[in-house]
Amino acid sequence: MADVYIVFGTLLAVGIAFPGLLSAWRLLFPTATQVAQERIARTPGAVFATGLGLTILFAIPVFLLIAVSVPLTSITAAALVFLILAVSVTGAAGITGHMAARLREANENLGPMKSYIGAAVAFELAAAFPFVGWFIVIPAALLLSIGATFFGVVRWRPRALVQAAPSPAESASPAQA
């Protein structure tokens, strides 16, 4: 019975800590998380593809380090995975920022931090949902996070959206109509 309490307590602690981690990351690295948020909002396909490519790129040395039975290689592989996951919090903060912006659109009375915490909780609950969250939301969010982190760290913003030129009817003033 004590094992059940330990597991439940650990899950509860992680559930409380995750929105705090994302909020702290956003406050500590505002530019990187803002670029990641813009990238996720405007070019999610490119972010996902970049995340998939970087995951494959980093998986090769990790698997090679695990396969080699030389002392310290498995620790090095674990450290590399830990580093990648730690840095990908920037992208997760960008995903949460995008979700928070959509929450503010739906409810204009929400402040920026209240909507951000709400989005972090929604993100966390979606990931915790059995099977769909575990096997679809978490892997997709991880790939998006890794791709968005890359764009956020290198500060590679999406191109400005090209606005179409107004039609002659739209450019006419009301007095002329």
Sign of the CA dihedral 120, 29, 97, 156? negative
Residue 6 maps to a domain: no
Res 158: pLDDT: 78
Residue 129 lies in a domain: yes
Residue 166 lies in a domain: no
Residue 137 belongs to some domain of the structure = yes
Q: How far apart are CA 149 and CA 168, in angstroms?
A: 43
pTM reported for the whole predicted model: 0.82
Domain that holds residue 70: 12-157
At residue 164 the predicted structure's pLDDT band, cuts being 50, 70 and 90, is very low
Look at residue 41 and tell me whether its pLDDT is greater than 90. Answer: yes
Mean pLDDT of 17-41: 94
Closest to 120 (Cα-Cα) out of 13, 44, 11, 20: 20
Is 79 inside a domain boundary? yes
Is 133 domain-assigned? yes
Q: How many domains does the chain divide into?
A: 1
Burial of 4 (0-12, 13-18, 19+ CB in 10 A): exposed
